[in-house]
Amino acid sequence: MRLSKSDIEVMADIHLATLKNDILPLLGRSFLVKFYTYINRSNCESIYTIRKNNIVVAACIVSYEVETLMKRVVKNLFFSLVFAVLMMLFKKISFFTYVKNIFLSKEGVRISGTGIVYIFVSPGFQNTGVGTRILKEAETLLIKNNQKQIHVKTINHKKNGAINFYLKNGFIIECSFNYLGREYLFLKKTLQTN
């Protein structure tokens, strides 16, 4: 089911509140809204949500083609992206180095297949089982779509609670890698039919 415009706005707000150091929030709320509008109509991505009183409180974004996502976003949102980057440059010159490194970086691992792009739970609902529930719902639908495996990457930092969350939910650490001066973990889970 496609999301409404107001669902997308709420998702952008939760993303901003929960993943402040991620690249998309750096590009601004307006770009985030455009990003989710694109994801919402994409055939290569699915958005799973959990609602309370009909308002989105958690989302899990899965891509069946992680390897092409960035390219598709740049292609489809080119002018919005350029505008967002220019606005950022005016605000923060160090962002230029960040963007430059994205294009020049040779580090990282090649990730392809079906993966979690983002999963987040509204701060007031975290640690109450909502994240586990949305992950399970996404996995059930992926199994129905004959997906055998799912992966995710996350920052390797002791303050990153998501690592514990993924491990508790059956993900296994495959490797760690460095990207843009940050250490990441690459985790995988085999999806099992019961």
Ligand X SMILES: CC(C)(COP(=O)(O)OP(=O)(O)OC[C@H]1O[C@@H](n2cnc3c(N)ncnc32)[C@H](O)[C@@H]1OP(=O)(O)O)[C@@H](O)C(=O)NCCC(=O)NCCS
In the complex, minimum distance from the CB of residue 186 to ligand X, in angstroms, rounded to a whole number: 13
Which residue, among 185, 32, 30, has the nearest Cα to 120 in the 3D structure? 32
In the complex, minimum distance from the CB of residue 10 to ligand X, in angstroms, rounded to a whole number: 14
- Considering only 9, 16, 19, 157, the residue that binds ligand X (CB under 6 A) is 19
In the complex, minimum distance from the CB of residue 134 to ligand X, in angstroms, rounded to a whole number: 8
Helix (H) or strand (E) holding 63: strand 55-63
SS3 18: helix
Q: Binding mask 145-164 vs ligand X (x if CB under 6 A, - otherwise)?
A: ---------x------xx-x
Partners of 153 in beta bridges: 186
Distance (Å, whole) CA 69 – CA 63: 8
End-to-end CA distance of the chain: 25
- Please report whether residue 126 would count as binding ligand X according to CB under 6 A: yes
| Size, binding site for ligand X by CB under 6 A | 19
Residue 77 in contact with residue 34, Cβ under 8 Å?
Answer: yes
Q: Residues with Cβ < 8 Å from 177, sequence gap 6 or more?
A: 107, 108, 109, 183, 184, 186
- Give the range of 36-44, 89-97, 118-126, 185-193 binding ligand X by CB under 6 A: 118-126
- Please report whether residue 121 would count as binding ligand X according to CB under 6 A: yes
Residue 51 in contact with residue 32, Cβ under 8 Å?
Answer: no
- Please report whether residue 23 would count as binding ligand X according to CB under 6 A: no
In the complex, minimum distance from the CB of residue 74 to ligand X, in angstroms, rounded to a whole number: 20
Decide whether 87 or 126 has the Cβ nearer to ligand X: 126
In the complex, minimum distance from the CB of residue 1 to ligand X, in angstroms, rounded to a whole number: 21
**Interaction site with ligand X (CB under 6 A):** 18-19, 118-121, 126-132, 154, 161-162, 164-165, 168
